[in-house]
Amino acid sequence: MSEVSVLAERNRIAGEIHDHVGHILTASIVQLQAGLKMLSMSAPESVDKLNLASELVRKGLHEMRKSVHMLGEEAAAASSFQDSLLQIIEDSEKYAEVTLEHIIEITDGRLEPEAEKLIRHALQEGITNGIRHGRCTHFRFELVEEYGSVRFTLVNNGLPFASDRLGFGLTMMRQTIRRRGGTFRIGTNYSAIRTAVRR
């Protein structure tokens, strides 16, 4: 394997770990903080919160090991694309205690593998960043196929995006979208992606 190929593979694995584990551990932090607040008030519900956080950390470790051993395999191959998006939404509402409206309109319910992976990671990254940096409690997600392309929009009720520099996850995402000839925009309380659909 050439040096360039090795570097590309390392970046891919790093991206997988960042997306999966970052999303889960951010939700864990939310649960731990909630549990600690309850402990300070001697509330019995704190035990449930801390148990839930422990479950999330274990899930994060499992995802990390799985990402390292993936080497090109699709993490969501066993389920449909739409089901994998709905699972991200369900997990976010359950573990991070946010609400998430969604509209998903995709022909035949599938896209090409690279586009599906990109959309899944964009949704995870957007929710994680919204909770971690924007203190969001509500999101609206739309994924609509139109005129040979797919439009991804994620809006939240959190603090405005104020950074001039993108983090690792958003930088990798922007590079992938531009390589596909798509567009990537992020602004106050929203992110938007458009990329071509290949079947």
Task: Convert the pLDDT of each residue in 24-51 to its tens digit.
Answer: 777 777 777 777 677 766 666 766 777 7
- Name the percent of the chain lying above pLDDT 90: 17
Cross-strand partners of 190: 155, 187
Helical residues (DSSP H) of the chain, grouped into ranges: 3-40, 45-70, 81-95, 113-132, 168-179
Matching residue, tokens 């990329």: 195
- Is a pLDDT exceeding 90 seen at residue 138? yes
Pairing outcome for strands 138-146 and 149-156 = antiparallel
Cross-strand partners of 99: 138
Range in 51-55, 71-75, 138-142, 195-199 with the lowest mean pLDDT: 71-75
- Is a pLDDT exceeding 50 seen at residue 144? yes
Query: Among residues 165, 195, 161, which one has the least CA distance to residue 178?
Result: 195
Burial class (CB in 10 A: 0-12, 13-18, 19+), 111: buried
Task: Give mean pLDDT, residues 119-146.
Answer: 89
Please give the mean pLDDT across all residues of the chain. 77
- Is a pLDDT exceeding 90 seen at residue 142? yes
Task: Give mean pLDDT, residues 180-196.
Answer: 75
Burial class (CB in 10 A: 0-12, 13-18, 19+), 95: buried
The Cα–Cα gap between 122 and 170 comes to 8
